[in-house]
Structures are given as C-alpha cells and as structure tokens.
Structure 1
Amino acid sequence: MSKPAPPRLSIRHGRLIDPLHAVDTHADVHLADGRVVAIGAAPDGFQPERELDASGCLVVPGLIDLCARLREPGLERKATIRSETQAAAASGITSLCCPPDTDPVIDTPAVAQLIRQTAQRYGYARVLPAGSLTHGLAGTQLSEMAALKHAGCPVLSHADRPIRNTRVQRRALEYAATFGMTCFLHPCDADLSDGGLVHEGRVSTRLGLPGIPEAAETVAVARDLALAEQTGARIHFRGLSTARATAMLAEARARGVAVTADVSAHQLFLTENDVDHFAANAYVLPPLRTESDRQALRAAVARGEITAICSDHQPHEDDAKQAPFPRIQPGISALETLLPLTLQLVTDGVLSLNQAIAMLTCQPAAILNSKRGHLAINARADVCVIDPNKIWILNEHTMRSRGLNTPFLNQELRGQVQWTILNGRVVFEQSPVQYC
C-alpha cells in the first residue's frame, strides 16, 4: 500500500539559512508534496494542514552525515537501523552514509538494497550505503561497482580497513573512476598502525599502551594522493586526524587533485589527554591526537580545506567499553553531538554560522554528488528546525541511540533540534518535557 501524500506544511517566523544559495533571512517556508513550494509568501490558494512556529529558531536543510554505523545487519546487539535512524532524526539528520563493514559486507546489490529498504520502511532518515571497494573488504578482488551504484550506493569505501596492496588500490580507483564514483578512503597504513591503540606520544608512553604514529596517516595520504593523480579518480579522505595530513591535503587541492576530506566532530574538541586514566569512551580510531593537531584541524575547517564535519557514529553495548583497555572496542556514539559540537565551533570563533551549517548540509551533499542539502524552490523538503540557544544535557534520558558510549555524556550542550522533516513529513518533534 502506497503512503498518502505528505501534508502541506508552513514553517513560520524562523531564520532561514541556505548556505548553497547564500540565503540568510527571516522568511516562512512552505512545503507540499515533499517539496519546497514557496519561501516568504505562500502560493495563491495554499492552505497548510499544519503550521510550525519557528520563532527564535534556525530553519536549515536537513543535515547530511557522511559516516554513521547503524550496526544492522550483523551487530544488532549494539544497535539497529530503526534505533539509530530515530536518533538521527532527533539530531536533525535526514541523510546518512553507512560504511560497508556490516555483516554481510555491502559488496552486493542485495545487501545494499536490504539496508535502504529497511530504512525506508521505518521512515526516520534516508540511509545511503557505501559500497565496498573489494569483495568482503578483503582487499584482493574488486567488487562489482556498477551493480552497487545501480543498487543505490552513491560512493565506494573500504570502511576503516586499509587496502595493503597498492596495486589493488590503484585498480580499485581506476575502476571506480570509470563509473564516476567517489572513493571514501580511511588514510591509515596497515603496517604502521598494526596493534596500536592510541596516538604515539607522551600519553601512550605514560599509560604503557601501543601507539599509532602520525606517519601511519601521512604515509597513507601520500600514497592515496599519488594514486588519485595517476588514475584521475575522485577520492575523499574519511576522518583526518593530523596536522601534517591537512597540509598535504591543502597542497594537493591547490594543484587541482580531485580530493576532499572530512573530520569527525570529536577530533575538533578532544586530544590524547582525554584518553588519560584509560578513558574507554575516548578510545577512537583514528586516535585522538595532540593539541597542535586539534588546532590544525580546526584551522583546516576554517579555511575550507576540510569541507565536511561528520559524526563517525559507532554505537556499542555497555560490555564493549568495560573490558581492560587493550580489549575494548573503539568508537563514539556521536549522532546526537554532531550538531551541538558544530555549533560550538561558531561560539569558539572557528566558523561563521553559515559556514557551520554548510559543513553539515550542502558541502557533504556535494561530496556525495547529491542534489540535497539546500532549500531552494522545488528542492526536496528535508528540513531541520533548530533552537540555537537551547541548553540541554546529553544523558540516557535525552539520547535516542542505543549506544551511550560518548565522552560527552552528562555534559551541557547548546543547540537543540525542534523539528526534523524528511520528504515533507515531520519525523521528529521535540517533546515539551525536557529531561536532565
């Protein structure tokens, strides 16, 4: 049975920010049939079925997250597509890209279609599966990239598993280029990082933990940039973490290499010091680096060399973070901190408000070669309404994700989603009851 048409909605009295079209103004937005039909005055004869009062709020395109693990299929004990897309909707995220390291791996059209159809059935957020560059993420045999593209995979990826064989990496980039598909690459040399847990430096030495050197990232960046130039492929570095890598990125972009990059929001706020005392919720890969790396990442974001901020969401069950440090699992539950942390960059003077919104909307859309991420007339009605001044506490009551593994737990955050609209339907609205 087909769904009824989306209702006619009017979002009144909000501050409309559409970075793609350099719009920043107070204007009403009118939606019908899943599209933006008017900005400002309503069309003649338009009668909304519902009006949302966005007084004091920002009205922006639905957020786009370039990396969020939903744990389904294969790891449903940690989370599910339903639970995590609900969390995404509560976080203003209308589209998210999931890496291919599910079980089974997203290396066939059947798995890609399963994920997309499951998300469509629940209807909270649009899930865009990244297809695997190689079969089984084994790094040996190339996947059927054309079939994956046809099945709805907008990009190709190898998750956080580097392809050790440079010849295979080259062939994968060449093959992807023939289909015009961007390759998401996690820059990490598998041999230099093997066995490492945290950044190689004074904290790793003091804790007696094996380290991952800066060179593990920069060696991989150098290799991937050389291969991108050789093959003409479009590559995207997923989750840079070091100052040197940002400098290499800027130099390559200045030479015209078809490369983009994002950074995980937590890398802009945390450092290796946050892992001190064996803090399990601050254990991530790539590892938290030095204060100078954090400042360099912020500078690269401010200069527009890094063009997207993502969550790198990795929800875990409690047991995954309660073992001795060498046996705990890396990752942060991060959907619900993506927006407030990005808005904090505005407060910190790193970005303007328009730049911050662009980092979460039109710029990740461009990386995905998507027409989403804006609110022009006839655009898809993916909208996020934000109270930028609302202060709330991230805790087990306010989090919708199944994973509570975040170093920001029980902290005050500023900026809260009031409504999320996907394809013209309200998929989340903030309850008037606030838990603390």
Structure 2
Amino acid sequence: MSTKPLLFKNARLVDPDTGREDKGGLLVRDGVIQDLGPQLTQAVDADIIDCGGQVLAPGLIDMRAFIGEPGGPYRETLKSAGEAAAAGGVTTVVSMPDTSPVLDDPAVIDFIVRRARDTSIVNILPAAALTKGLKGEEMAEIGRLKEAGAIAFTDGVRSVTNAQVMRRTLTYARDFDALIVHHVEDPDLVGQGVMNEGEFASRLGLSGIPREAETIMLERDMRLVRLTGGRYHAAMISCADSAEIVRSAKAKGLPVTCGVSINHLSLNENDIGDYRTFLKLSPPLRHEDDRQAMIEALNDGTVDVIVSDHNPQDVENKRLPFAEAADGAVGLETLLSAAMRLVHSDRVSLPKLLRALSMKPAEILGLPAGRLKIGAPADLVLFDPDAPYVLDKRQLKSLSKNTPFDEARLEGQVTITMVAGRIVFDRRSM
C-alpha cells in the first residue's frame, strides 16, 4: 500500500558499497529509496525525521541465527527473534535448520516462510538442511527446497564429515546455483573438548579443542570446491590458520566466502574467566593472537561477513558446570554495538564494518538490500555510533538471556530500524 513519503534529513549517510560518507538526506517512498544525497534537505508532502547527525546506513543482514520455532518456542520464536533483530538494527535474518522438525522438507520451509511473514517484523529467510535430518549421510532435496524458499543450505552446528557426501552436495548445488554454508569443525577432533586448546584451558582444568579441528575440515572443503566448482561459504572461521586457507583459496579464484562471529572479533579465551558458561561457544573463543588475525582478515577482505551466531539457550542448559553447559549465546541485539568496538579502537573503518554487516551478506545471498542507492529496498538503520550504555540482559527482547556482554560497557545504540519503508523499532518512543 502507498504511504506518505518519509525524509531522513541531517543524517550521516554511510554507503558500504561505495565506502562514501556524506551529510545529507534520504527520501523513502513506497518501501524503496527514492532519492538521497547532500542536496536533499526538504521534501514536499513528506514526514520528516531530523537525524541530528546520526549514522543512516543499510539495515544489517545476519547470516547465522538459530531460532527455536518450530519445536523450541521457549528458546526463541520467529516473533521474538524479529523484535530482537529490529532492536539491534538487523533487518534480515537467515534462520538455521536446527529445529524440530528439521528444515529438510519443502512443506516445512514453506511453513517458515509464511509464519515469518505473518509474525516477524523483519525479514526472516530460512536456510534448509544440507543433508536429511542433519545426519550428514544423505543429501537433502536441494532443488525442491530452494523452490520452496530456502535461501541457502547448511547443517547448522553440524559438519558433514563424509567427503563423498559433501562432494555430491557441492556438485548438485552448483547446478542450481545454490549456496552451501558449512560449519567447519571436525567432531572427532573436537572429542570431549569444551574450549580452545592451550595453556589457559590447562589452567582451568578443561579439555581443549585444537585449531586443527577447524583447519583440517576447511582445507578438505577447499579441495572439494576446487573439484566441483560449487559455491561455498564457511559459516565461521576463528583462527589465523583458517584465514590463510581462505586467503589462498580466493587467490586461486575459487568461489569461496567466509564469515566470522562477532564474539570472535570482540572476545578471546581469557574472557571465559571463572567458567562463564555464556561464553561457551562453537567454535570456541580463541587466543588473542587469533582474534587479532580475524580483525586483519576482515580488513583485507579475506573475511566477508560478520554474523551474530545468535543461539538462544534456556537457563537449564547454561546453569551447569562449564563442560556440561550447552554451546551458544544470543547476539542479534548486541551485534552492532559489539562491532562498533572495532571502530572506536580504530581497527576497522565504519564503511568497511558495515560492508561486512550488510552489503557482503546481501551480495552472497543474492538480495537487493545492503546498499544506499535509488531503487534499493528501504531496509535501513539509524544509529548513534557514540551513545554509551551498559547492557542489562533483563532488557533484551530475546526470550533467552544468555548474552556474553551482560553488564558490558558498549557504545553505539540503534535509534530507528526500518524494513521495506516501515519503522519497526523506534527508541525515541521508549
């Protein structure tokens, strides 16, 4: 339906596609960007929002979020995930197939598409299972699942250890131009490990997970991509050796991209401290040298996207001894604020950061969003990059509160989130 145009004026426009930063305005009409630039200071017959110099940028696109619905609505529903995403400036979320039932049937994919459209205030796009039942044994029906609305194919937190199965899925997906997203972690090498292998794990008396659990699986996948030519995205890498593997594959022209969790850019193994289970993640938090390597990989383009790895867990699964606690942390609402730490410490420029949070995910997924340009969807976030606050987990909109940033001092608060020209979050009215 046609609605009255809306002008954002006096904004700091940041376009991650071109890297340009301009002071000016942006006009939204009928759900798309109609005009923008320094010259745009007024518009006839339009509602006006004075941004007061705050940053106006494309809405964030999160390529990795676990949502409990269907099967685990006590953890997170599509509705609550949408509210959490909107509060964090995220306008599009890719949901993982680790649900009950698993998203390996076209009818279930269709249900998620319809349910998300009816209940979520942001775009939620389902990723379908790569193998049936997430068992890693038999390839899912990629063609039918894509037709039903699957945006990508992944086994979520599980790795496909059978190289022949992975080869077949890459080959089949290539013919449908489908994207394979893989969790690179060899479960046999992980074994009983619960955190990064090294001196700190020994001090805590916890079993370690070697970096090789990630790098061996990643190296195997690069060779299979070379063999098949299928489009491949490593869901998350976490160590320096993995960055070198991806860097080498890209230099050879392979159709490879990769992501990194905001947790692995902001935190290291020392943050686990006295067995803080909210920081028990998969892959585990690494050594500080690996964190620095991830930042450098983001700067040089080896790392394409930053994800929240939003994985809500209830209290019963987290209030346990560290070794027994479930992996995962919520992250949709803190994704932007935590990422702004890299900007405030002068490690990453704001346009480059937003590129990894919006434009590159859109490019990889084939979405028209992620850019400030005429005709693009009006999926936007207005935020104050310098606004300080202390995170109170009780105020999170997610149903689960397992955030690694509880009581952390953060900078950068979302003021307005807009999806398809409709304001879905407005801090000014809170």
Shorter chain as denominator, the TM-score bin is over 0.9
- 1:7 deviates by 3.9
Report SS of the residue matched to 1:21.
coil
- CA distance in structure 2 between the partners assigned to 1:298 and 1:23 by the alignment: 21
Give yes or no for the alignment of 1:26 onto 2:23: yes
Which residue does 2:268 correspond to in 1? Answer: 271
Q: Distance in 2 between matches of 1:349 and 1:137?
A: 41
Structure 2 residue aligned with 1:217 = 214
User: 1:337 aligned to 2:337?
Assistant: no
CA distance, structure 1, for counterparts of residue 140 and residue 162 of structure 2 = 15
Q: Which residue of 2 aligns with 1:359?
A: 356
- Match of 2:52, SS state, is coil
Residues paired across the two proteins, number: 429
Give TM-score, length-normalised by structure 2.
Answer: 0.96
The amino acid that maps onto 1:408 is F
User: 1:183 and 2:180 equivalent?
Assistant: yes
1:72 partner letter: E
Shift of 1:123: 3.9
- Partner of 2:396 in structure 1? 399
User: Shift of the alpha carbon at 1:122?
Assistant: 2.3
Q: Which moved more, 1:79-88 or 1:197-206?
A: 197-206
1:111-150 alignment runs, 5 A limit: 111-150=108-147
Give, in whole Å, the separation in 1 of the partners of 2:204 and 2:197.
Answer: 11
Q: How far apart, CA to CA, are the structure 2 residues paired with 1:430 and 1:314?
A: 25
**Please, what TM-score do these two structures have when normalized by structure 1?**
0.95
Q: Report matched runs for 1:100-249 at 5 Å.
A: 100-249=97-246
Matched residues in 1 for 2:54 and 2:200: separation? 42
Query: How many Å apart are 1:300 and its aligned residue?
Result: 0.6
In the other structure, the counterpart of 1:47 is 45
Residue 287 of structure 2 aligns to which amino acid in structure 1? T
Contact 1:7/1:424 (<8 A) preserved: no
* Higher deviation after alignment, 216-225 or 347-356: 347-356
| Rounded Cα–Cα distance in structure 1 between residues aligned with 2:229 and 2:63 | 22
Q: CA RMSD in A?
A: 1.6
Question: Given residue 303 of structure 2, which amino acid in structure 1 is its aligned partner?
Answer: I
Runs (5+) with no aligned partner, structure 1: none
Alignment correspondent of 1:5: 2
Is the partner of 2:367 in helix, strand or coil?
coil
SS of equivalent residue, structure 1 residue 301: helix
Any conservation in 2 of the 1:6–1:423 contact (CA below 8 Å)? no
C-alpha distance in 1, partners of 2:106/2:172? 17
Where does residue 92 of structure 1 map in the other structure? 89
Q: Match of 1:146, as an amino acid?
A: G
The match for 2:370 is 373
Aligned to 2:312: 315
What's 1:300 paired with?
297
Please tell me whether the aligned partners of residues 203 and 276 of structure 1 are also in contact (alpha carbons under 8 angstroms): no
How do 1:62-101 and structure 2 match up within 5 A? Answer: 62-101=59-98
Which residue in the other structure is 2:33 paired with?
36
State how far apart, in whole Å, the 2-side matches of 1:417 and 1:45 are: 25
